[in-house]
Amino acid sequence: MKTTDSFGRPLVAVTGMGVVTSLGQGKKDNWRALTGGQSGIHPITRFPTDHLATTISGMVDFLPESSRGASALTFALADSAAEEAIGEAGFSTSDFGGPLFLAAPPVELDWHNRLRLYAQSDRANGWRSLIEAARKASERALFDESQFAAIADRLAEKYGTRGLPITLSTACASGATAIQLGTEAIRRGECERALAIGADGSATAEALIRFSLLSALSTQNERPEKASKPFSKDRDGFVLAEGSGALVLESLENALARGAEILGIIRGCGEKADDFHRTRSKPDGSPAIAAVRAALSDAGMSEDEIGYVNAHGTSTPENDKMEHLSLSTVFGERMRTIPISSNKSMIGHTLSAAGAVEAVFSILTMRENTIPPTINYENPDPAIELDVVPNVKREAEVASVLSNSFGFGGQNTCLVMAREAG
Amino acid sequence: MNPTDVLITGIGVVSSLGLGADAHWQALTRREPMPALDLERFSPYIVHPLPEIDWSTQIPKRGDQRQMETWQRLGTYTAGLALEDAGIKDDEALCASMDMIIAAGGGERDVAVDQAILDASLTRNDNDVLLNEKLTTELRPTLFLAQLSNLLAGNISIVHKVTGSSRTFMGEDGAGVSAIETAAARIRSGQSAHLLVGAAFQTEHPDMLLAYELGGYLQREKWSPVWQRNKDLGGGVITGSGAAFLVLESREHAEKRGRTPYAAIGPVASGRARRKDTDLQKDLAAMLAPLQQDVRPVLAISGASGAHAPTAAERAALESAGAVVRGFNTLTGHLKEAQFPFAVALAALAVRHGQAYPAFDPSSEKPFESAPKAALATAIGYDCFEGMGLIVEA
């Protein structure tokens, strides 16, 4: 089997995957729920919802760390997915031996800790009192919570990844960027394998309020499982969610030599930044179009080789319209017949984790010959003519997938994955 | 000489010392460079404050300025300086194909809103409801975007039209190291032809100081040079506001445009020492060894933070290797994510001018008489992660 791509670069295989979403922990539970058209969206119980316009989410509430703040939960989510992925790949879970690329949310001192410190202070001098209380408390855990390096540092320590771990954010495209960075490092010959993780446990009250103030969230609280309805006419925003996805990336040559099972191939990655607006995309869709084309070109593949699109599909009025426009531009008339579905209809938008979570599901889609549905597709948007695999899963041979990730700040990243090396 | 050598063709730097590469060269080569300090505003903490900046020279639209807080303005402004210096600014085609790697933390929170919540919390026992009540009514919607780590890059795309790609690395000093290391690796491997890389840090905000002091890292009350921080006054770090952006190009790309480079980026090394269990000085010596050239002494532009243990370990490692150190945090304060980009920028200026900086702290730093053909840049994180790179003549 050839182990380099059409550009002579090492092909990059996926040899291990792990995932956690509101649907459950691990690939097995997630895949069963996802193909069963089950929603993980539920009423918020982690904090009171008084005064909030949105009272539902896809939070991960079943881990011991679920109530211990964003940093603790983000670590726990990454940890769980990493352990599953490295275990499947058959590498040591204490001496992985390749670099770590972690997509994670920006961190901040948790409000509960901020309030606790202030209550301990003399309160006479505002923020000065708070800082003084912080210094006197001298709690390493609180310091870690404020450090952007801390989560990756802990993961690197636990799994024995190599070198300085990279934590990154490209907003809602972060998970895809982590995979891209790992893929590029292997292509440059810097490493034989890399661990790419997207993890996000940052659904705090403040995070919810911030997105809410930007009118980004669905307020269809009455029936939580129905709120995320990508490509539907009555979609009104995304559903904030948590989760993690981890992938062991490995040069195909190395994976074959050690007899590892090849779960899929990362064929191409493409990106293009948008300079139009901080939260809205350029009306002509040109950056998203360029990102899709860049991914295809990086994969050395043509448009007609894509068999399925794992949509960004957030269920915001803007994204779904834009995604349709850009895909129709790239794929032309054929776009009406290429199956496309949004995992977010069931798991919500896992933000920094989304690109990685959805890459795991994309590869499972190819391996299991089953396309997960877009649920809640009861009221199609007539302006969006797509085969969204409505409401029920579909058995189908899928040889290659395009997975889209678009984010605030003009971030557009697309991945092309395939079953075979091509 | 290789067509994919990594050349530095544009430098943008801002600190309390001034605006731009020339202003910094002038300020830092004075016989006795003086720090600019603000001893009052954040007392007992001392900061090296931003100089006065007319944002509109790099961010012409008022609307764009309003969408950002100082951290993003500072980064966007300094990125503009680097692009201008490289002759790329306003070249639509070059900007549209330019890759970008930013090292970033988070932006500024609203101090008034946060304080109002803290104050109200003392008279109530339903803090979670209080948070909802205050945050839903008092947060400015756009403030979220001014806080998001990747929105510095986003604003650079909007203001300067750099849109080839956009990646933001997070993680304090180490993020700056990874940004430069990855950028250089991309150019060397042909993945990028030209690239904007850099970071900004705005320390003049209580939360920025809080993050250090949660770990007891700051020095209080008195200023002293970075090598002479006092354990009785705290953890040793004095912070500053500043930013550093570089335009990197492959030799081939720079030559085609007829640009004269400042210097080239040679080998870059990075690591994650297990500081609790191992001897950091030994780890740094091992990292340094393959970067060393035969010429002695080596000029080392050190991003030592002042944090007691790593600063002592770095100094010992550098001096054992025959390096003459220049700890620029004496004059700029600790610039967090911008430490390594700033160190690389200062190293490149010294190589370009063929002249070393005079001692920033004459009682701790030795003279360097010869003309440096190379300079080492370091950023040993105040808490974790380490990196260094050799900047050589182009």
AA letter at B218: L
In B, which residues are within 8 Å of A177 by CB distance? 167
Kindly indicate the confidence band of residue A422, based on its pLDDT and cuts at 50, 70 and 90. Answer: confident
pLDDT-based confidence at B292, cuts 50/70/90? confident
Closest to B281 (Cα-Cα) out of B253, B320, B328:
B320
Three-state secondary structure readout of A109-136 = CCHHHHHHHHHHCCCCCCHHHHHHHHHH
pLDDT at B229: 98
Please give the helix or strand (H or E) that residue A102 lies within, else none: strand A100-103
> What percent of chain B shows pLDDT beyond 90?
97
Q: What part of B 298-317 touches A (C-beta under 8 Å)? A: none
Q: Is the pLDDT of residue B78 over 80?
A: yes
> Active-site residue among A172, A191, A269, A414?
A172
Predicted confidence (pLDDT) per residue in A242-268, tens digit? 999 999 999 999 999 999 999 999 999
CA A147 distance to own-chain centroid: 22
CATH topology of domain B265-392: Peroxisomal Thiolase; Chain A, domain 1 (3.40.47)
> Mean of the pLDDT values across residues A351-357?
98
Same fold flag, B6-110+142-256 and B265-392: yes
Residue in chain A closest to B125 (alpha carbons) equals A115
Is B93's pLDDT higher than 90? yes
**Residues of chain B positioned with their CB less than 8 A from the CB of A127:** 111, 115, 206, 210
A112 is catalytic: no
Local confidence band at B297 (pLDDT 50, 70, 90 cut-offs): confident
Q: What is the pLDDT of residue B284?
A: 98
CB of B136 less than 8 A from some CB of A: yes
- H or E element in which residue B384 lies: none
CB B170 within 8 A of CB A104: yes
Q: Are the C-beta atoms of residues A335 and A328 closer than 8 Å to each other?
A: yes
Quote the tokens at residue B34.
């003086």
Reading the block at residue B310, the tokens are 């790593």
Closest among B17, B118, B84, B115 to B333, alpha carbons compared: B17
Q: Read off the pLDDT of each residue in B99-118 and give the average, rounded to a whole number.
A: 97
Question: What pLDDT is recorded for position B293?
Answer: 78
pLDDT digits (tens, 9 = 90+) for A21-60: 999 999 999 999 999 999 999 999 999 999 999 999 999 9
Chain B environment of A50 (Cβ under 8 Å): 129, 132-133
Q: Reply yes or no on whether the pLDDT at B295 is more than 80.
A: no
Distance from C-alpha of B212 to C-alpha of B167, rounded to nearest angstrom? 25
Please tell me the predicted confidence (pLDDT) of residue A270.
98
Nearest CB to B216 within list A106, A138, A210: A138
- Is B185 in the A-facing interface, judged by CB distances under 8 Å? yes
Interface touch A168/B169, C-beta < 8 Å: yes
Burial-class residue A19 by CB neighbours within 10 Å (0-12, 13-18, 19+). Answer: buried
In Å, how far from its chain's centre is CA A180?
13
Cβ-proximal residues to A251 (8 Å cutoff; 6+ apart), any chain: A3, A10, A11, A12, A13, A186, A192, A193
Whether residue A269 lies in the annotated active site: no
Q: Do B165 and A126 touch (CB under 8 A)?
A: no
- The beta strand positions in chain B, using DSSP E, are 6-15, 18-19, 47-48, 99-103, 167-170, 194-201, 239-240, 242-250, 263-271, 298-302, 323-327, 374-380, 386-392
| Residue indicated by tokens 């008339």 | A333
pLDDT band at B294 (very low <50, low <70, confident <90, very high): confident
Chain A partners within 8 Å of B99 (Cβ): none
Does pLDDT of B32 surpass 90? no
Given an 8 Å threshold on Cβ–Cβ distance, is B171 in contact with A274?
Answer: no
Output the average pLDDT for chain A. Answer: 97
Give residue A145's pLDDT.
Answer: 96
Which of helix, strand or coil describes residue A322? Answer: helix
Compute the average pLDDT of residues A279-283: 93
pLDDT-based confidence at B247, cuts 50/70/90?
very high
What one-letter code names the amino acid at A102? L
pLDDT at B31: 83
The terminus-to-terminus CA distance of chain A in angstroms comes to 10
Catalytic site residue A349? yes
* Digit-coded pLDDT (tens) for B163-194: 999 999 999 999 999 999 999 999 999 999 99
Q: Which option is the CATH number for B6-110+142-256: 3.30.1490.20, 3.20.20.100, 3.40.47.10, 3.90.920.10?
A: 3.40.47.10
pLDDT at B89: 96
Residue type, B95: C
Q: What is the per-residue pLDDT across B314-333, written as a single tens digit (0 to 9) for each?
A: 999 999 999 999 999 999 99
The verdict on pTM exceeding 0.95 is yes
Residue to mutate among A169, A214, A219, A297, with most B CBs inside 10 A, is A169
Please give the domain boundaries of chain A with CATH numbers for all domains.
12-107+147-418 (3.40.47.10), 113-143 (no CATH)
Nearest-angstrom CA–CA distance, A386 and A380: 9
Q: Give the span between the Cα atoms of A338 and A117, in whole angstroms.
A: 55
Average pLDDT over residues B59-72: 97
List of chain A residues whose C-beta atoms are within 8 Å of the C-beta of residue B126:
48
Q: Which residues of A363-396 are buried (b: 16+ CB within 10 A; e: fewer)?
A: bbbbeeebbbbbbbbeeebeebebbbbbeebbee
- Nearest by CB to residue B118, choosing from A112, A118, A152, is A118
pLDDT surpasses 80 at B85: yes
pLDDT band at A5 (very low <50, low <70, confident <90, very high): very high
Cβ distance of A210 and B139 shorter than 8 Å: yes
Q: Give residue A1's pLDDT.
A: 82
Q: Is the pLDDT of residue B281 over 90?
A: yes
**Residue B288 banded pLDDT, cuts 50, 70, 90:** very high
pLDDT value of position B296: 78
Place of tokens 């409801």: B129
Average pLDDT of the residues in A64-75: 97
Does B372 score more than 80 pLDDT? yes
Close Cβ partners of A160 (under 8 Å, ≥ 6 residues apart): A92, A94, A95, A96, A97
The alpha carbon of residue B156 and the mean position of all alpha carbons in its chain are separated, in whole angstroms, by 17
Q: What is the mean pLDDT of the segment spanning B340-355?
A: 98
Task: For this complex, say whether ipTM is above 0.95.
Answer: yes
List the beta strands (DSSP E) in A201-337.
243-251, 264-271, 308-310
Average pLDDT over chain B reads 97
Q: In the prediction, which pLDDT does B68 show?
A: 97
pLDDT at B202 over 80: yes
**How confident is the model over A182-200, as a mean pLDDT?**
98
Structure tokens at A169: 């954010």
pLDDT of residue A295 exceeding 80, the answer is yes
Interface touch A168/B158, C-beta < 8 Å: no
C-alpha dihedral, A183 to A186 to A192 to A193, nearest 10°: -20
Please state the domain extents for chain B. 6-110+142-256, 265-392
What mean pLDDT do residues B33-62 have?
Answer: 97
